[in-house]
Amino acid sequence: MAPVLRHQKGFSLFEVLIALFVLAVGLLGLAHLQLTTLKNVQSAEFRSQASILAADIFDKMRANQPAARAGNYNFAFDDDAPVAPDTVAEFDLIDWLGAVSTSLPQGSGAIGCPNFNPGADFICQITIRWNETQIGDADTDYGELGQSEFIFSGAI
């Protein structure tokens, strides 16, 4: 008597379903990686823009050292911007604050220079803040906004 061969049916369909599931999980992982990369690139762009803006006002302060040493560039986050500039320092502040607010989402800036002490380095600190979507852990909603800050210090 010859052996009876039995053919299985539907097994290759099951393999296809498993392969599609593995592919779907891989594509979801790839989409998450792409989203995280885009957010990191945007964050780096904002940080670069803040660095450029801080260097810009710092250069203006170095060009107008007497006004910087007199404290004319000092500006706090809760201060009101000058409305009608009377001095170069006020014009520089209006220009810089406008650039910060338009270049960064909800951007704001502050400048702090201590009282000038002849013979010592005159150090000023420029702080720029903005809001951006934060990249967090599993408990963080990707839509949450957080405040980022860039601080630039240097001697004039």
Q: What confidence score (pLDDT) does residue 39 get?
A: 81
Counting other chains too, the contacts that 144-152 makes at CB distance below 8 Å and 24 or more residues apart are: 148/43, 148/46, 148/47, 150/47, 150/50, 150/51, 150/54, 151/125, 151/126, 151/127, 152/51, 152/54, 152/55, 152/58, 152/125, 152/126, 152/127, 152/128
Q: What is the pTM of this model?
A: 0.75
State residue 76's pLDDT score. 92
Residue indicated by tokens 């338009």: 102
The pLDDT score that the predictor gives to residue 15 is: 85
Read off the pLDDT of each residue in 4-27 and give the average, rounded to a whole number: 82
pLDDT in tens, 35-89: 888 888 888 999 999 999 999 999 999 999 899 988 899 999 988 888 888 899 9
Q: Contact at 8 Å (CB) between 69 and 116?
A: yes
Three-state DSSP string of 28-49: HHHHHHHHHHHHHHHHHHHHHH
Mean pLDDT value across residues 101-127: 86
pLDDT above 90 (res 25): yes
- Average pLDDT over the chain reads 86
The CA–CA distances, whole Å, from 83 to 46, 68, 79, 109 equal 27, 19, 12, 16
